[in-house]
């Protein structure tokens, strides 16, 4: 009887760990790992200091206050760190062409609040209030093939590209 119980528990554990519905919960709970495919709508994971991504065919990079890249992405990647000593206004100019999947650009405030700057294919500008302290801009994608052009302008803000 005891042996049957152990076998059943082992089989149950394997089924749960292999089931895609339970995998993200167990990976995060027991191993501290974030499943890249489930983080797109998870602001807590996006706000974390860590990045978790898989790029394919990535070309281009961020330099200074602009970026020009093409890639296939699942996950999230910090592309800028921003520093402000007082409340400032940041203008983000964007030209994004998505061929597949889901994609967004987000701002993470010094309080780890996530604000979506732009989502999907779009072209234009957006003005955002920046709080004093360290903020970050991340790109977040789920199985997305994207061409991305961004530029940042703002008085009193220091930009540091992260590659």
Q: What is the mean pLDDT of residues 3-19?
A: 70
Where in the chain are the domains? 2-31, 47-161
Q: Which residue has the higher pLDDT, 149 or 18?
A: 149
CATH node for 47-161: 2.60.120
**107-113 contacts at long range (C-beta below 8 A, 24 or more positions apart):** 107/135, 107/136, 107/137, 108/46, 108/47, 108/135, 108/136, 108/137, 108/138, 109/133, 109/135, 110/134, 110/135, 112/47, 113/47
Q: Which residue has the higher pLDDT, 63 or 4?
A: 63
- Nearest-CA neighbor of 79 among 39, 51, 117, 99? 51
47: helix, strand or coil: helix
Q: Tell me, rounded to whole angstroms, the distance of Cα 17 from its chain centroid.
A: 25
Supply the pLDDT for residue 29. Answer: 45
Supply the pLDDT for residue 98. Answer: 95
pLDDT exceeds 60 at position 28: no
Supply the pLDDT for residue 32. Answer: 47
Mean of per-residue pLDDT scores for the chain: 86
pLDDT exceeds 80 at position 150: yes
Supply the pLDDT for residue 77. Answer: 93
């Amino acid at each position: 009887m005891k042996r049957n119980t152990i076998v059943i528990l082992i089989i149950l554990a394997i089924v749960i760990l292999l089931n895609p519905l339970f995998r993200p919960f167990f990976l995060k709970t027991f191993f501290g790992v974030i499943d890249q495919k489930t983080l797109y709508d998870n602001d807590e994971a996006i706000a974390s200091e860590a990045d978790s991504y898989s790029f394919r065919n990535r070309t281009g990079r961020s330099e200074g206050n602009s970026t020009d890249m093409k890639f296939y992405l699942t996950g999230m990647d910090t592309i800028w760190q921003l520093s402000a000593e007082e409340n400032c206004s940041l203008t983000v100019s964007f030209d994004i062409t998505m061929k597949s999947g889901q994609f967004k650009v987000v701002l993470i405030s010094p309080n780890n609040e996530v604000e979506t700057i732009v989502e999907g294919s779009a072209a234009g500008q957006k003005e955002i209030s920046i709080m004093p302290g360290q903020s970050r801009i991340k790109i977040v994608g789920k199985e997305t093939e994207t061409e991305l052009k961004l530029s940042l302008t703002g008085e009193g803000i220091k930009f540091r590209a992260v590659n």
